[in-house]
Structure 1
Amino acid sequence: MKRTFLPLAVGMLMIFAFSCKPGIKKEIAGIEILEKDLTDQAARPDPEKLASLLDAYTAFVDNHPADSMAPLYLYKAINLSMGVNNGAKAMQLTDRMLNEYPKDSRIPEAIFLKAYIYENQLSNLGLALKTYQDFLSRFPEHELADDAQAAIDNLGKSPEELIREFEARAAAQAGN
């Protein structure tokens, strides 16, 4: 088995290396440099570098939509947009991911993020509820299913209401 695996692995690596155009390799290297720069920065990343990384992710997807890295970079762009509190951009990218890469392994997370964006960044509780419910109907066993149900249960509640409910549950459990 080891004798056939090694040549197969080397062959696959060579195919990958030769199938990547120099432009793609250069773009990926540029993205990796930006990611490293932002990771190495202090707690407050440079907004210009964040914008550059977001542009690099989306440019890669625009230029190489069939490349295996495109869905990953699109997913990273969604998370980055959310991180800089740009809900409209995050929603646009999420819809793009759902439409262009419907079979990607990150689709459950993308649907969950869509609901989260509706709830927390766009303040559209009706669409948040619908999207959380869609997530639960499609992925009831997913690791985020409990989070989706909790979001539904607490949708639209103020922090004060949540605290009161938590305290009431704690008091009821203490009494039992």
Structure 2
Amino acid sequence: MKNTLKVMLFAMMAIGMMACGGKEVTQEDLKTAEASLFNADQTVNEAEAPKVADTYCRFVKQHPDDSAAAQWLYRAMEINVFLKDADKSIKLGDQLMKQYPQSEWAPMSLFLLGSYVYDSQLNDTAKAHVAFQRLIDSYPESELVDDAQMSIKYLGLTPEEIMERIMSQTEVEDTVSVATEE
């Protein structure tokens, strides 16, 4: 009877650990995960990338008050953007904005959501606009504000259309500059 009880207790503990994300993630685990993210030729190891992102997320879950938690969450988001997992990217971006709105990673996550997830992956210019505008309104001192404003200006345009607009604007500026000099 005692052996059966011990086996059941051990099984329950093992199930509990798996449900809570497994073992404690340490700084060494983060370094190991980071090292496994890239192949020898510095390309992303796509087979390892989801595991690396999961390690980062588990670290944040286990250590939400760690000074680098926002950075690890952002890195997990970056990996999911690279993997084109829009749903997971949005979830992680929202989590970062909710848990760490004052971190340096918050405006970067909004820009990443706006440009790569909503605009490029999902072709949802309305949500991209919202992400960029939120960055502009919430982080007016961010160095990404100009990029967000420019992104809003060119939302929904093809690369060719963007180049055409930039070239025509440059021509107008050159014409004005020459006229002013005369």
**TM-score with structure 2 setting the length:** 0.73
Query: Which has the larger share of helix?
Result: 1
Instruction: Report the Cα distance in structure 1 between the residues aligned to 2:149 and 2:39, rounded to whole angstroms.
Output: 36
Instruction: Report the Cα distance in structure 2 between the residues aligned to 1:67 and 1:31, rounded to whole angstroms.
Output: 13
Aligned residue in 1 for 2:166: 166
In structure 1, stretches of 5+ residues that fail to align are: 1-22
The Cα of 1:39 is off from its aligned counterpart by 4.2
- Spell out structure 1 runs of 4+ moving beyond 6 A: none
In structure 2, stretches of 5+ residues that fail to align are: 1-22
Q: Which stretch of the first structure deviates more once superposed, 36-45 or 149-158?
A: 36-45
The Cα of 1:57 is off from its aligned counterpart by 0.7
Q: Deviations over 1:9-65 (max 9, x none)?
A: xxxxxxxxxxxxxx75x6321220221233462143321211211111111122232
Instruction: Report the Cα distance in structure 2 between the residues aligned to 1:132 and 1:109, rounded to whole angstroms.
Output: 10
Instruction: Report the Cα distance in structure 1 between the residues aligned to 2:27 and 2:75, rounded to whole angstroms.
Output: 13
Instruction: Report the Cα distance in structure 2 between the residues aligned to 1:133 and 1:45, rounded to whole angstroms.
Output: 31
Q: Which stretch of the first structure deviates more once superposed, 92-101 or 118-127?
A: 118-127
Q: Deviations over 1:77-100 (max 9, x none)?
A: 111111222222111100011112
1:145 pairs with 2:127: no
Instruction: Report the Cα distance in structure 2 between the residues aligned to 1:84 and 1:41, rounded to whole angstroms.
Output: 19
Instruction: Report the Cα distance in structure 2 between the residues aligned to 1:46 and 1:40, rounded to whole angstroms.
Output: 6
Q: Deviations over 1:95-129 (max 9, x none)?
A: 01111223323222222223222222222111111
Q: Which amino acid aligns with 2:59?
A: F
**TM-score with structure 1 setting the length:** 0.76
- Structure 1 residues 43 and 68: alpha-carbon distance in aligned structure 2, compared to 1, 3 A threshold: closer
Aligned length: 153
Preserved contact between residue 37 and residue 52 of structure 2 (Cα < 8 Å): no
Instruction: Report the Cα distance in structure 1 between the residues aligned to 2:152 and 2:167, rounded to whole angstroms.
Output: 20
Aligned residue in 2 for 1:78: 77
- Give the root-mean-square deviation of aligned CA atoms: 2.1
Matches of residues 1-176 of structure 1 in structure 2 within 5 Å? 27-39=26-38, 41-116=40-115, 117-175=117-175, 176=178
Instruction: Report the Cα distance in structure 2 between the residues aligned to 1:35 and 1:55, rounded to whole angstroms.
Output: 12
Q: What is the percentage of aligned positions where both structures have the same residue?
A: 27
> Which of structures 1 and 2 has the bigger CA Rg?
2
Instruction: Report the Cα distance in structure 2 between the residues aligned to 1:110 and 1:46, rounded to whole angstroms.
Output: 22
Instruction: Report the Cα distance in structure 2 between the residues aligned to 1:144 and 1:66, rounded to whole angstroms.
Output: 26
